[in-house]
Structure 1
Amino acid sequence: MLVPIALLVGVLTLVAWWVHQTFTYWKRRGIPHDPPKIPLGNTSELMKTMQLSHILKRTYFKYKNKTDGPFVGFYVFAKRFLVVTDIDFVKTVLIRDFDKFHDRGIFHNERDDPLTANLTTIEGQKWRTLRQKLTPTFTSGKMKNMFPTVLNVGDELIRVFDEKISSSSPQTLEVTNLLARFTADVIGVCAFGLECNSLRDPNAEFVRMGESAINERRYGRLVDLLLFGAPKLSAKLGIKTLLQPVEDFYMNIVKDTIEYRNKNKVSRNDFMDMLIDMKLKYDSGNKEDGITFNELAAQAFIFFLAGFETSSTTMGFALFELACNQDIQDKLRTEIDGVLKKHNGKLDYDSMRELTYLEKVIDETLRKHPVVAHLVRITTKPYVHSNPKYSIDRDIGVLVPTLGIHHDPEFYPEPEKFIPERFDEDQVKQRPACTFLPFGDGPRNCIGLRFGRMQVIVGMALLIHNYKFELHPTKTSVPIKYKVKNILLSADGGINLNVSKIARQ
């Protein structure tokens, strides 16, 4: 009887010691931080009353310029993180000392859950090699080839809007769902060569599977904690995150697309063509320049997932801000109408680049509502600071509070106001590096930002040219309320706007 009791006491003592060591890490280092609550750390409000990016924003403003170092301590459950509070140290993490902070520490399981092993999650040399292989697929020349395809889907978006706004009086529309279906169709055709028809069918499989991949997981909260806290152990245990129907759906689409194009000698100059070329190199023995089938499927999957949600959400936020600021909407419409008139009513890749005020509207939207509102890195090598107290051990998480930086009046006076002129060239030059981070920065920035911007510009240009967007007196939430249970910023309840057709002579 005494032996089991002794073992129990020993185990409990060990657990108590581990908990104490874990949750006093920053205190023992002398690093400023909010006292953690066991077992939730500094995230007791997470996904209950606050979104993570808003918790980080609060921490950023609480400690910025109030400590003797560039960051403060933070606990996400039992995992040790630091929150960067100095803008120059953001540059250190993302650019200057990138070799010490190049991984994200996100779960991926190449063997059992192959779609999770994509460019956003993989690490080290494997990431570097794949990034080098994929970078040529996102050049401006490749974007120009894909532009007509994006424009065709944009024209379909306008036809769908026209059908919903048949009368002369304004119609109330929830715009985020329509915009998600637009981006699903754009990426479906560019990444997979498929006419998804999501705009015509609200229940289209592409949209349903995309939403399922973002919002649903195989397991409950406890397994999610393991995936977050010990991603490498989780992979070794063979844990999968994606639901099986989601994995099967994307794997089968990729397989069928490759077989069809190879069999019928189909070439579309799209993203899938470029991936297939790399797979053919691998199959012919050129493994250095090629990719495997699973690697191809994973990149097509993340290209769809990343562009589908972020681009449509950005467009929704932009339409909301333009509805709140009619003078800006009028100014933007004048620019768009002028560029279209100059080019015989047609938008093409070159004329798109003349929409400079639209670019600023999009940038200001991304500043005020960055869909990816914080960045995560993991210290892959010890970092030595001039003040030894602020040196960083290996495997410490780094959180860059993008939302806080974007709302910092030091960089953006009156940050709650929507002012596209903040992105006039002279104003941009006056701000320090890394004060605008909707796509990240440095070697691990968003590889698809050119494509994402292109589809947003096309969609916004066509919508503002054809319609006026106004706030609904009761259905539009002002200011926007964000979903607290999402990792990405998105509007709770969608964005309901009054939409009316622009009368033209």
Structure 2
Amino acid sequence: MAMYFLIGVATVAYCLYLYFTRTFNYWRSRNVAGPPPVPFFGNIKESVLRRKHFAIVLKDIYNAYPNEKVVGVYRMTTPALLIRDLDIVKQVMIKDFDNFPERGVEFDKDGLGANLFHADEALWRVLRNKFTPLFTTGKLKNMLHLMIDRSDDFIKYVENITRAQPEQEVFQLVQKFTIANISACAFGLDFDMTKEGDVQRKMRKIDKQIFTLNYAFELDMMCPGIISKIGTSLFPANIKRFFHDLVKQVVNVRKGEPTDRKDFMDLILELKREKQVHGAQRTKDEEKKYLELTEGIIAAQAFVFYAAGYESGATTMGFMLMQLAQNPEIQNKLAAEIKEVLRRHDDKVTYEALQDMTYLDRVFDETLRMYPVVDLILRKVVTDYKIPGSNAMLKKGQTVLISISGIHYDEEHWPNPLRFDPDRFRPENTANRHPAAYIPFGIGP
């Protein structure tokens, strides 16, 4: 009896082994280099076991194959292609973008996932055609007065609290500063920084939940499509409800009409007058796709404005201040430039004054090189595609991966990459650099 039991266990184990290794010959049979996969885990064991973030696992693989243009990897049992060569990155993300329009992660199409950054191809084309113009330099310039007001309040707040306690947690301060700016520019909400109201408390709670969503996102990285297969959403119901209610409240207060604040909601309300928006046509014969601009669609854009601006803005400023503290000579040079530029502009922070702060630009660029807002890029191919200059052939539905951290710390593109050096971004240094070598916010449409 015991023997039959052992035979049964061995048979089940062998069947499971075959199932979880059934795809592991995919890249080898196509002469594409890559790390040997581990049964069940593929190449992401450290991520599955929560030892490393998925982006760090990809960066390690990127670093392990310095002579390869592309590297074949397995997201558990699913083959994917990691692109290292910058020319191929540019080809895939820009020139051949129509073959790679899908983001590679399936979001809720009817809720907050219906936003400019996470929508599927059909919805994305409509949103991009109408919402991208809202983020032009001219439109953002009109919001500068809101940011300056928040900055003045923030300076007074910091001066106040440091009189009693000179040492403060910087990241908490920049979080407070960013949430005040995002709320003012996106929703027309003016917060008192000395107090924390109900909306601010809810936003902080939501921020923690959005951070938790990273685990769900990583789950989809490991098992592509699992979120949609189990019929759930990456976004909890309370987050959806909060942004729907917030948008509805702002629209009602403004009686559905734009004001003179020139903030994000004003721009949306101007657009809402059209009732329906349509997407750009790729070909003359393609049928135009229309979308009703509902409060749900507006709430999705408001959500991503908040999610992308709050945490990433605070994190970038926090890292920049850390690097300035560790590099006092850079800090002094930056302070001298700011003082000199403000002197030339009558001590007023204007759009033109900010444009003249070229060293500040370089400091921010170097911060974003070392700490990019986006860790990795995924794109799903919608047709069979041969990767130029390689043996790799992608089948429809497969994904390509781009490790932004891998590129940003690659010594071939960035000598001594661990050193914080804003002068990397002097005009003479950027002129000959590959355009895909610096992509802190991603690349392509």
Q: TM-score, normalised by structure 2?
A: 0.87
The one-letter code sitting in structure 2 at the alignment partner of 1:151 is: I
1:80 aligns to 2:53 (yes or no): no
| Counterpart for residue 3 of structure 2 | none
User: How far apart, in 2, do the equivalents of 1:423 and 1:206 lie?
Assistant: 39
User: How far apart, in 2, do the equivalents of 1:283 and 1:389 lie?
Assistant: 45
**1:279 offset after TM fit, Å?**
2.5
The one-letter code sitting in structure 1 at the alignment partner of 2:312 is: T
The change in CA–CA distance for 1:23 and 1:191 in structure 2 (over 3 A counts) is same
The change in CA–CA distance for 1:442 and 1:242 in structure 2 (over 3 A counts) is closer
Deviations 1:165-222 (A, max 9, x none): 216xx9332211211221111111111111244564398325324313412359x87x
| Counterpart for residue 436 of structure 2 | 434
1:409 aligns to 2:411 (yes or no): yes
Asked if the contact 1:382–1:391 (Cα under 8 Å) also holds between the matched residues in 2, the reply is yes
User: How far apart, in 2, do the equivalents of 1:212 and 1:328 lie?
Assistant: 33
Query: Which is worse superposed, 85-94 or 351-360?
Result: 85-94
Deviations 1:443-480 (A, max 9, x none): 2xxxxxxxxxxxxxxxxxxxxxxxxxxxxxxxxxxxxx
What 5-or-longer segments of structure 2 have no aligned partner?
1-8, 280-288
| Counterpart for residue 23 of structure 2 | 22
**1:242 offset after TM fit, Å?**
2.0
1:162 aligns to 2:163 (yes or no): no
| Counterpart for residue 133 of structure 1 | 130
| Counterpart for residue 44 of structure 1 | 45
What 5-or-longer segments of structure 1 have no aligned partner?
1-7, 444-505
| Counterpart for residue 250 of structure 2 | 257
| Counterpart for residue 105 of structure 1 | 104
Asked if the contact 2:75–2:221 (Cα under 8 Å) also holds between the matched residues in 1, the reply is no
| Counterpart for residue 5 of structure 2 | none
Asked if the contact 1:279–1:290 (Cα under 8 Å) also holds between the matched residues in 2, the reply is no
User: How far apart, in 1, do the equivalents of 2:248 and 2:272 lie?
Assistant: 12
User: How far apart, in 2, do the equivalents of 1:437 and 1:353 lie?
Assistant: 21
Deviations 1:2-24 (A, max 9, x none): xxxxxx99998876554232333
User: How far apart, in 2, do the equivalents of 1:235 and 1:31 lie?
Assistant: 30
The change in CA–CA distance for 1:264 and 1:297 in structure 2 (over 3 A counts) is closer
**1:73 offset after TM fit, Å?**
1.1
Asked if the contact 2:384–2:395 (Cα under 8 Å) also holds between the matched residues in 1, the reply is yes
The one-letter code sitting in structure 1 at the alignment partner of 2:185 is: C
3-state SS in 2 of match to 1:81: strand
**1:394 offset after TM fit, Å?**
1.7
Aligned residues: percent identity?
Answer: 33
Asked if the contact 1:212–1:246 (Cα under 8 Å) also holds between the matched residues in 2, the reply is no
Query: Which is worse superposed, 174-183 or 16-25?
Result: 16-25
Query: Which is worse superposed, 433-442 or 353-362?
Result: 433-442
Deviations 1:249-308 (A, max 9, x none): 111101111111116874421111111222232179999486222111100100110011
3-state SS in 2 of match to 1:399: strand
The one-letter code sitting in structure 1 at the alignment partner of 2:413 is: F
1:280 aligns to 2:273 (yes or no): yes
How many residues align structurally? Answer: 427
User: How far apart, in 2, do the equivalents of 1:434 and 1:386 lie?
Assistant: 16
| Counterpart for residue 148 of structure 1 | 145
3-state SS in 2 of match to 1:432: coil
Asked if the contact 1:278–1:290 (Cα under 8 Å) also holds between the matched residues in 2, the reply is no
**1:50 offset after TM fit, Å?**
2.2
Asked if the contact 1:434–1:441 (Cα under 8 Å) also holds between the matched residues in 2, the reply is yes
User: How far apart, in 2, do the equivalents of 1:285 and 1:393 lie?
Assistant: 31
| Counterpart for residue 212 of structure 2 | 216
The change in CA–CA distance for 1:160 and 1:206 in structure 2 (over 3 A counts) is farther
Asked if the contact 1:178–1:199 (Cα under 8 Å) also holds between the matched residues in 2, the reply is no
The change in CA–CA distance for 1:116 and 1:126 in structure 2 (over 3 A counts) is closer
3-state SS in 2 of match to 1:212: helix
| Counterpart for residue 179 of structure 1 | 174
| Counterpart for residue 201 of structure 1 | 196
| Counterpart for residue 33 of structure 1 | 34
Deviations 1:210-257 (A, max 9, x none): 313412359x87x973686343x7446541222222221111101111
User: How far apart, in 1, do the equivalents of 2:140 and 2:393 lie?
Assistant: 42
User: How far apart, in 2, do the equivalents of 1:386 and 1:356 lie?
Assistant: 38
Partner residue of 1:241 out of 234, 240, 253: 234
Q: TM-score, normalised by structure 1?
A: 0.77
User: How far apart, in 1, do the equivalents of 2:369 and 2:277 lie?
Assistant: 46
The change in CA–CA distance for 1:341 and 1:243 in structure 2 (over 3 A counts) is same
